[in-house]
Amino acid sequence: MQRKLIRPNLTEVKEKITQEAKEREAARKKSPPPTDTHAENYYFLKQMNKKTLMAVVFADGQQVEGYIEWYDRNCFKLNRQDAPNLLIYKRQVKYIYKLEQAEEGKNSDKNQDSAKEQKAEPADTKKR
């Protein structure tokens, strides 16, 4: 009895392999973008290390001041002077800002206003 050997067509096998490789690459390329950019982590660490005085404004409009001692995914601890420390849930926070920036902005506005008044005075004296 003689057996007849059946040989697979090599072009068909190569096509299957290349198609499977393409499908694997497509699946790898279509991964969703990362949800965490680590920008928040960087910001909190920077403020913690410098012990920057921060103002936290809640969703209801209430504002508290202090510096951030630690944080995690859902909350952070705010140390306050002459008041108890607070554990604040991030979902309750409307926004956070540095108090130094707010004071500098107010001071620069006052300086600009006083500079405008000083410039205006000599002009008024010339008219008279």
Q: What is the CATH number of the domain that holds 64?
A: 2.30.30.100
Q: Is residue 89 part of a domain?
A: yes
Residue 29: inside a domain: no
76 class by beta-carbon count within 10 Å (0-12 exposed, 13-18 middle, 19+ buried): buried
Question: 5 in a domain, yes or no?
Answer: no
Number of structural domains the chain divides into: 1
Q: When comparing pLDDT for 38 and 106, which is higher?
A: 38
Residue 85 sits in which domain range?
A: 39-121
Q: Is residue 126 part of a domain?
A: no
**In a domain? residue 116:** yes
pLDDT in tens, 70-120: 999 999 999 999 999 999 999 999 999 999 766 676 666 656 655 555 555
Residue 128 above 50 pLDDT?
no
Residue 23 or 28, more confident: 23
Does residue 28 lie within any of the structural domains?
Answer: no
Query: In 1-128, where do the E strands start and end?
Result: 54-58, 63-71, 75-79, 86-89, 93-98
For residue 58, tell me if it sits in a domain.
yes
In which residue are the tokens 């000083």 written?
118
> According to the model, what pLDDT value does residue 119 have?
53
Residue 34 has pLDDT above 70, yes or no: yes
Q: Is residue 24 domain-resident?
A: no
